[in-house]
Each structure stands twice: as C-alpha cells, then as structure tokens.
Amino acid sequence: MALAAVCELQRSLVARIERLHPQARVIQNYSEILDDPKIDAVLIATPVSSHFSLALAALRAGKHVFVEKPLASSTEEAMQLADEAHSRRKVLMVDHVFVYTPAVRRIRKLIDEGAVGRLYYYDSVRVNLGLFQQDVNVIWDLAVHDLAIMDFLIDERPTMVSAIAAAHVHGRRENIAYLNCFFDSGFTVHVHVNWLAPVKVRQTLLGGSRKMIIYDDLEPDEKIKVYDRGVDDNDQANPMLQFGYRLGDMWSPMLDRTEALLSAVQHFGECIYSGSAPTTDGRCGVRVVQMLEAASRSAAMQGRPVPVEGRKPAAIE
C-alpha cells in the first residue's frame, strides 16, 4: 500500500506532514478522499466521537476502513459499522494495536499449546501521568487496550462487568478506574487504569493451572516471563498439608522486535488483498465497545455489576 493523501484540519501540522510524506497530497476536505476512485482504503485517526461518521462515510464510498480504537462511541454505532462493512464486502479493522505485539501473540500461542493450563485470572495495571482526553474517560482510553487483549487471548466472553471510576481534575472526565469482568467458567479479569499516576506502568499477570505469566510492556528485552509456579491440591509428599506449592523455573521466550502498528497495517493490507477478515475486525470492535458500555453503566451506579449484552450485528448473526 502507498500513502496517497492525508486529510488534516490543523494547519500547524500541514508542514510537518508534507515534510514526512512528500509523495502524499495534504488536503482539508475529507470528501476529496471519498470521491477519489484511486484511493482504496482510509485510515482514521481522529477523536472517538468522530469515528462513526467518518468510517460510515468511507464504507459507503466503497473504501476499506482502518480505524483507531475504540471502533465507535456506542454499541449501536459499532454494530452499524460492522453491518455496513459486511453488506458492502469491505474490510473494517480496528487498531487494537496491542493485539499485534509479538508479546501478546506469543502469550496466545502459549495458551493454545496448553502450556498455561486452565486460565484463572487476568490482572492488569495500566497507568501514567496523562494524557487527559477531551471526549472519552480513562476507561475508553486505556482500559480498552486490556479488553481487546483479553478478547484476543481467550475465546470465552464475559457475562458481567463491574467498574468504579472517579475524576480528580475539575472539569475533566474520570481519570482513574477499576474494572472487573466475570465469566461463567470462573475466569476473572481485573484492570486498573489511571491518568494521574507518578510513573508509567504497563504490567499484566495471567494466572493458569500450569504456568503463570508476567507481561511487562515497558521491559525492553524480557517482556514476557513464564513461571512454573502455582498451588496443587492434595500434596502427596506431605499429607499434613492441604496444598502443595510448586516453585519451578522461570523463562523468558525470545520475541521479534517488529513494531506492532506496522504489523497491524500490513495485516490490514493483506486482508484487503485476500478478502479475509482481520483479527480485530468489526465483530471484535463491537465486543469491545459492548464491554466499555457495560463498564460505563456500572461506574454510573457505583460499581453495580452490569450484563454484557446487546444485539449482534448482522455480520455475525
């Protein structure tokens, strides 16, 4: 794929774009992109509130669409986009970029191989100082990453979501939140996100019956550490103990250094040429937005669990 044009409304950025991408036209009228028959695909990197209208217009103009996370501001909007892409046979892909990191993909491989065993929990901390967003709160800005990772790693879908959130900066949206997702199997998810932390932390613990994994996205080399540790029932070596504690080795798999966004864009292009569905397609986008909406409803009720429900888009009925 080649970059043909960039639509940018901020004049202060035009010179920089022209310098970085001299081969591309820089325009300020989005309709020029939609009306250009030589442009096959549109990448949308705008505030969340504009995702739906821009993506819908592009799909109706016959373009394939790659859109920043989350797919839309509501489940209904996300479902409409998924339906539109399906009916027009166009590729709709959401930039859930962490799904395309070598670390997360390796964790999925370990799960598929049975190395982790039965999954018990996903526990994540994703905090930093800013950036405060104008049109979404910290749940829609940061927790969306973990919900997308979780959606990719496990095939089971949550039945309930509970969340509490608070705003500490006057006139701004909620900057801290704690989310819990509940599953019929007993698997649990806990996510802590914060825009008002003194340090940047991106760390996830994934516990299973055979292995436990620590995923630290800020670690330059050993992003994944796999621990052969856990608790076993009925310790045969010492009948006086109810449990046996397994304290085995730790190892860190070698990961390639491919940049996640590059992998995502390449995957988008491959799906256009092959006609296949992206890993983070419209259906994935709908599922994540459904969880985000459930979390928002729960937070408005001081943490009361809320069902994850809603009509499926026609593309997956």
For residue 205, give every residue at least 6 positions away whose Cβ sits within 8 Å of its Cβ, in sequence order, or none: 121, 122, 123, 124, 212, 213, 214, 215
pTM of the model: 0.92
Give domain status of residue 133, yes or no: yes
pLDDT for 171 equals 85
**Ramachandran angles phi, psi of 70, nearest 5°:** -75, 170
Give domain status of residue 202, yes or no: yes
pLDDT for 304 equals 97
* Cβ atoms 127, 222 nearer than 8 A: no
Taking the chain (317 residues) in consecutive chunks of 10 residues, what is each chunk's mean pLDDT? 90 89 92 96 96 98 98 97 98 98 98 96 96 94 98 96 96 95 97 97 97 97 94 64 77 95 97 97 97 97 90 51
pLDDT for 317 equals 43
Distance CA 71, CA 281 (A): 10
Give domain status of residue 172, yes or no: yes
CATH of the domain at 226: 3.30.360.10
Half-sphere exposure for 130 (CA within 13 Å, toward CB): 2
Residues composing the chain? 317
How many domains are contained in the chain? 1
Q: Record the tokens describing residue 157, joined without a space.
A: 């879908």
Distance CA 97, CA 268 (A): 12
* Cβ atoms 255, 106 nearer than 8 A: yes
pLDDT for 237 equals 59
Q: Record the tokens describing residue 61, joined without a space.
A: 């103009």
Give domain status of residue 36, yes or no: no
* Cβ atoms 188, 168 nearer than 8 A: no
pLDDT for 239 equals 58
Give domain status of residue 163, yes or no: yes
Give the rounded distance of the alpha carbon of 5 from its chain centre. Answer: 27
Q: State the angle between helix axes of 282-300 and 75-88 in degrees (0 to 180), rounded to the nearest 10.
A: 170
Give domain status of residue 53, yes or no: no
Give domain status of residue 205, yes or no: yes
b/e per residue, 78-100, with b = 16+ CB within 10 A? bbbbbbbbbeeebbbbbbbbbbb
Residue 40: is it exposed, middle or buried by C-beta count within 10 angstroms (0-12/13-18/19+)? middle
Which domain does 165 fall in, by range? 98-260
pLDDT for 11 equals 84
